[in-house]
Amino acid sequence: MKSKTVFVCKECGNESPKWLGKCPGCGQWNTYIEEKIERTSSAVAAPSAGLAKSVRGPAMPRSITSVSTDTEERASTGSDELDRVLGGGAVNGSLILCGGEPGIGKSTLLLQVCRYLAKTETVLYISGEESERQIRLRADRLGALCDGILVANETDLGAINEAIEAVKPKTVIIDSIQTIYNGDLPSSPGSVTQVRECTMSFMRTAKNLGITFFIVGHVTKEGSIAGPRVLEHMVDCVLYFEGERHQSYRIVRAVKNRFGSTNEIGVFEMCDKGLIDVPNPSHTLLSGRPVDVPGSAVVCSVEGTRPILAEIQALVSKSVYPNPKRMASGLDYNRASLIITVLDKRTNLDLALQDSYINVTGGIRLDEPATDLAVAAAVASSATNTSLPKDMAFFGEVGLTGELRTVTQAARRLAEIEKMGFKRCMLPFDSLGGIDRVGLELVAVKNLTDMLAYIKG
């Protein structure tokens, strides 16, 4: 038995015989970690006399026209919000990866899913972090005590596969993938090799037996799932849990979904009985909004097929430091800095020497360009100490020359704004085309100068 040491990139799984500062595969810095690989001499020696033979026999190709196109069978998870993110429910035989910060509610939501599924099928809950007693106590608190939920505290891959073969469940929960290890591999649990090979084993089991797997994954300090980035390419769906641990609202976002849209989000509220669905996020996110206060603007953002109204707050004050400070929470920092710079350049607002703070209330994150106009309005409102109309909402994209560009689904945004009781909406002038008559006063502006003139009155 010969041992070999290689260096593996924890982001993309690229291997190198020596340590490298920058990975040539993904371009990330300081991502190589050392792994020991044991190989038998027979595996290294034999010359390639011909094509390798498959142990299971040949896989015979067939014509693409003979492949069945039946609709994938889905199973509801018992949560309308989670079903929305998954595209209508969990597809049987799929591999779903769930990531999020510790304590954000991943295990809680999955145990609630078990409670619903166990009414009609057998569910196997494998935990490598909690004992069976701890799972029982949490299930008791969530009202998820059911004979159809089978629990086991196990980290060995071989033992888990034997349990799956013996129980034959329809759904399996793995919490978490970083604790599972394959005894045939010399590396420690949580290493790149272990995470990759264990996930590959679960994927084969899911496809061959039609079992749905929910796999919990730890996240790094940057917020991405720990382990090789190839892990996200292997699974069918990747869900991220977002939100602040000290706030009650949680967002579940699909960043990859082979069976549905990747733009949908699910909104949940954490309570003493677990996570409950929030069917009307707009009403929830706008509750407690201050009135007649400078720096507050309401934006209509579309996440997948759902328009959501959220409040954007801005605070602009004179800086006491040589370099003014800018901070953005719930928005892309670079995008927020760009909007502030455009406002400073294209209007008479002097923002270069002032601190600027921008926040999206409710713990939600907005990445759509349609939020640009609301951010600009909130910053301008705070800088001029002028309150925005309490019955006005905003949407539109800001260009580098200060112009306002149209965004998609304008009619759907206006319908949601009117539904939530607003009377006015500021939008780009080019978005007026194709909009049917609505019960709103539409304030169409062409650039940031027009927007600022309207705010000042």
Which of 15-24, 81-90, 184-193, 207-216 bottoms out in mean pLDDT, i.e. has the lowest?
184-193
CB 392 within 8 A of CB 408: no
**How many angstroms separate the CA atoms of 96 and 237, rounded?**
5
Can you tell me the mean pLDDT for 11-24? 83
In angstroms, the Cα distances linking 131 to 97, 155, 168, 207, 401 are 22, 11, 22, 29, 59
Residue at 149 is within a domain: yes
Q: Is 200 helix (H, G, I), strand (E, B) or coil?
A: helix
Q: What is the pLDDT of residues 262-277, one digit of tens each?
A: 878 898 998 888 999 9
Q: What percent of the chain has pLDDT over 90?
A: 56
Q: Residue 42: which pLDDT band, with cuts at 50, 70 and 90?
A: very low
The predicted pLDDT at position 51 comes to: 52
Q: How many CB atoms lie within 10 A of CB 277?
A: 15
- β-pairing, 212-217 vs 171-175, is parallel
Residues 215, 313 share a domain: no
Asked if residue 62 belongs to a domain, the reply is: no
The verdict on residue 245 lying in a domain is yes
pLDDT tens profile 174-225: 998 989 999 888 777 877 888 888 999 999 999 999 999 999 987 765 556 6
Q: What is the pLDDT of residue 69?
A: 67
121 and 134 fall within a common domain: yes
Q: What is the mean pLDDT of residues 143-171?
A: 94
| Predicted local confidence at residue 3, as pLDDT | 63
Chain segment 395-425, per-residue pLDDT in tens: 999 999 999 999 998 999 999 999 999 999 9
C-alpha–C-alpha distance, residues 378 and 452, integer Å: 11
* Final residue before a domain boundary, out of 252, 279, 306: 279
Q: What is the pLDDT of residue 229?
A: 65
CATH code for the domain in which residue 333 is found: 3.30.230.10
Q: Do 232 and 85 reside in the same domain of the chain?
A: yes
Residue 170, helix vs strand vs coil: coil
Answer whether residue 451 is part of any domain: yes
Q: Answer yes or no: is 154 within a domain.
A: yes
Report the distance separating Cα 450 and Cα 373, nearest Å: 12
Pairwise CA distance, residues 443 & 417, whole Å: 14
pLDDT for res 190: 78
> Per-residue pLDDT for 438 more than 80?
no
CB-based contacts of 49, cutoff 8 Å, min separation 6: none
Do 330 and 233 have their domain in common? no
Tens digits of per-residue pLDDT, 224-252?
Answer: 665 556 678 889 999 998 877 667 788 89
Q: Which residues contact residue 28 at a Cβ distance below 8 angstroms, ignoring those fewer than 6 apart? A: 9, 11, 12, 22
CB 206 within 8 A of CB 179: no
Share above pLDDT 70 across residues of the chain, in percent, rounded to a whole number: 90
Does one domain contain both 91 and 211?
Answer: yes
| Domain count across the chain | 3
Q: Which of 279, 295, 313 is the last residue of a domain?
A: 279
pTM: 0.77
Residues 271 and 310 placed together within one structural domain of the fold: no
45 has a pLDDT exceeding 50: no
CATH number for the domain spanning 235: value is 3.40.50.300
Same domain for 6 and 120, yes or no, is no
Residue among 151, 180, 175 at smallest CA distance from 163: 151
399 within 8 A of 376, measured Cβ to Cβ: no
Do 257 and 313 reside in the same domain of the chain? no
Lowest mean pLDDT among 32-46, 399-413, 436-450: 32-46
- What is the residue-averaged pLDDT of the chain? 87
Q: Per the structure block, which two tokens stand in for 243?
A: 């939100």
Which of 224, 253, 279 represents a domain boundary (last residue)? Answer: 279
The phi, psi pair for 279, rounded to 5°, reads -70, -25
82: enclosing H helix or E strand: helix 80-86
**Can you give the pLDDT at residue 32?**
84
Same structural domain for residues 213 and 239? yes
136: confidence class by pLDDT, cuts 50, 70, 90: very high
What does the pLDDT read at residue 262? 82
Distance CA 12, CA 340 (A): 35
* Residue 55: inside a domain: no
Q: Mean pLDDT over residues 315-337, rounded?
A: 92
Within this chain, do residues 331 and 430 fall inside the same structural domain, yes or no?
Answer: yes
Question: Domain check: are 243 and 100 in the same one?
Answer: yes
Residue 188, amino acid: S
* β-sheet bridge partners, residue 318: 354
Quote the CA–CA distance of 124 and 122 in Å, as a whole number: 7
Print the domain residue range for 30.
2-41
Is 391 inside a domain boundary? yes
Residues 335-384 have pLDDT tens digits of 999 999 999 999 988 898 899 999 998 878 888 999 999 999 999 999 99
47 found inside a domain: no
Going by pLDDT thresholds of 50, 70 and 90, the confidence category of residue 111 is very high
> Smallest Cα–Cα separation from 274: which of 398, 374, 389, 139?
139
Both 317 and 272 in one domain: the answer is no
